[in-house]
Amino acid sequence: MNTDVIHVSIDLGAKKSGKNAKCILTRDGSIVFAALDEILVLHNTNAFTSHSLDGMSLTMKQDRQGNIWLGTFENGVRFYLNGDLTQTPKKYLPDYSITSIIQDREGSYWFATGENGVYYMASNEFVTYNKLSGLAVNRVSCLTSDENGTVFAALKTGIIQVIGDSIFDEIYLSDNAWENMYNVAIMYDDVLENLHIATNESRYLIYDWAGKQMHHTANSRGTYAMLKRKDGQILAATIGAVGVLRNLEWEFTDLIRKDRFRLNALYEDANEELWVGGLRGLARYENDSLHFNPPGKEILNIRVTDITSMDGEVLCLGTRGGGLLFIEGDSVRQLDMSSGLTSDNVERVLVDGKILWLATNKGLNKVTFSSMNPWSYEIEVYDVNDGLASNELVDIIKANDKIWLASNKGLTVFNPEAVKKNHVVPPIWIKGIRVADKDTSLLKEYHLSYDQNNLLISYLGLAYRYPGQVLYRYKMEGIDSTWEYTNNTSVKYATMPYGEFTFLVSASNEDGYWSPEPASITFIISPPFWETWWARTGYGVFALLLILGIISWRTASLKKRQRELEHEVERKTKEIREQKEVVEKQKQKVEEQKKDITDSIQYAENIQQSLLPTEQSVQDLLPDSFILFQPKDICKRRFLLDAAPQRESLLSCLRLYWPRRARCFYEYDRFFPPG
């Protein structure tokens, strides 16, 4: 195997720092070697290039995006975009010795210093300029830029720092270092290449950027906003007046003669109408006077901090206390905290097509409109966790396709197109279990008794950018049917039933991406002895024996009752039989008596028949008579009737003739003559 060996000799000198030489293999296969103030790059062609370093190297790292970070001795960090060592690097943490650089799983950076501990950078997409990175002070009051993208950052110390790819110039407002002058408002005139500067000392300065000369004008009113109109006029919003700059002199028209208040904002719309915002709301400037809102538009009588427009048609107002107001024709719409903003105090509004960037006291709000009618929008929030220097923002501009933010803790710049959603989800761990208010060793599975059912489960999702804002969801399978959402890092189950349960918990990052696999832990809680299988078996056996006992007792009771009923039936039957015998004897006796009576009556009837004459004999004797025969049972009664009264004597004789005997009596009671 043929191997080419190239020997590169570097004189490290006698300094001990030379021992900190570093060597890395880059993603494109090159080898980068850094020692003292020199960087060597060995390419695949076996050629190498040399680059100078303004400091002595201590550490070097290439991140996952291919950028190279180089830490120096007492000169901070150098950042080479895409690993291009030929470009001018960005500088961070000046005056510090950087001993180690790492990139965590979220893409953030950690810098260990030899003088002041560890520093954290959420993202290299957000670059912060502050005192550590070259600003004179941290407090930035306002911003402006020219057509080439050069940014002018006005500081609270009477200095304007000029920034391109880095800080390259400074403008001092006064030669007197003791003069307490600082910037209030700033505006760049691209036509005349002049920088207009308003200060707290009621001074108005014009700096000739091309000629590097400062011009002073007298403005006793104080200036809080500036505007260059389409006709070239320079206007200033002051206390109770709008000023016009002519030949470096100000002309003021008093707009509010009583109880003068400060005017904060100026804007000229597409129709060249001038709008003024102040402590008392929005007003239209016309004929040297302010026309405030008509009745019914009281919502506009709120402190206006900034005025701009979308598409030249919809007027947009930043306010203190009212969020963002939209005016289109006669309609007014509002976007505030109830709509999703982080604050109702909007300091500045930047229109970027269909996107509104809002600088608030609680971070940067990005409002993206997909439709204005009907309203459809999405709100994203950027704050210190994303890399901003501060959440309290005072100004915002866009230059060179980058967003620049001013705050009291520095100047932040980022490319919005390069900021992507964070797909890295925080890892989730269960970090502690308390059982019955006692700490326990962390296990994968717990076997607990029924009286150890008081659980406190602690968990943690590790996120460096949003350490206190991780969203969790959890559920106890077997108890909870749905996920519960919380920002708390613990949950308590006070009275767990017995059985087998699995606790699941997931974490979400700031962009709503959840852990793919939740952390889990299993609890097996044994039942109390009266709920165990052998106790239940005993309950079953006892219940069975009880049922059998009841059945046996019932059967015995029924048999006993049956025997008693049988005895009772026998007794009653015996009584009935005895009564029947008595009745039959009585019946027999009655029948015998009846027979005797009937025989006697029959005998009497025979006697009666033998004594009574026949019907023929009666007819022979009494041809005009008849016999009325009325039998009664066996014995009979006859009535003889005749129409001849002369035979009464004969009938009387007959009546006397008939005897009365054998218990039967027969007579003809009366003779009834006809008629």
CATH number of the domain that 478 lies in? 2.60.40.10
Indicate which CATH number applies to the domain containing 40: 2.130.10.10
625 shares its domain with 539: no
Name 171's bridge partners. 160
Which residue, 354, 374, 409, sits at the end of a domain?
409
Q: pLDDT for 375-432, tens place per residue?
A: 889 999 988 878 898 999 999 999 989 999 999 999 999 999 888 777 888 899 999 9
Which residue, 85, 106, 124, sits at the end of a domain?
124
Edge-to-edge strand ranges of the sheet holding 484-486:
445-448, 519-525, 499-508, 471-477, 484-486
Q: Tell me: pLDDT of 371 over 60.
A: yes
111 shares its domain with 166: no
553 shares its domain with 604: yes
Which residue, 124, 146, 179, sits at the end of a domain?
124
The pTM (predicted TM-score) of the whole model is: 0.67
473 shares its domain with 501: yes
514 shares its domain with 571: no
Least confident piece of the model among 201-210, 320-329, 341-350:
201-210
Please indicate, yes or no, if residue 324 is contained in any of the structural domains.
no
598 shares its domain with 639: no
| Mean pLDDT, rounded, for 603-612 | 75
* Residue where the block lists tokens 């004797």: 621
Please indicate, yes or no, if residue 368 is contained in any of the structural domains.
no
Please indicate, yes or no, if residue 380 is contained in any of the structural domains.
no
Range of the domain at 478: 428-526
| Mean pLDDT, rounded, for 475-497 | 92
Helix (H, G, I), strand (E, B) or coil at 440: coil
Q: Which amino acid is at 70?
A: L
Task: Report the candidate in 455, 485, 472 with the shortest Cα–Cα distance to residue 515.
Answer: 472
Edge-to-edge strand ranges of the sheet holding 159-163:
140-145, 151-155, 159-163, 167-172
Which residues, including other chains, have CB under 8 Å from residue 240's CB and lie 6 or more apart? Answer: 221, 254, 255, 256, 257, 260, 261, 262, 263
Q: pLDDT for 423-464, tens place per residue?
A: 888 899 999 999 988 999 999 999 999 888 899 999 999 888
Q: pLDDT for 40-87, tens place per residue?
A: 888 766 677 888 888 888 999 999 889 999 999 988 899 998 888 888
Total domains, the chain: 5
* Residue where the block lists tokens 């060996």: 5
Q: Which residues of 201-221 are buried (b: 16+ CB within 10 A; e: fewer)?
A: bebbbbbebeeeebeebebeb
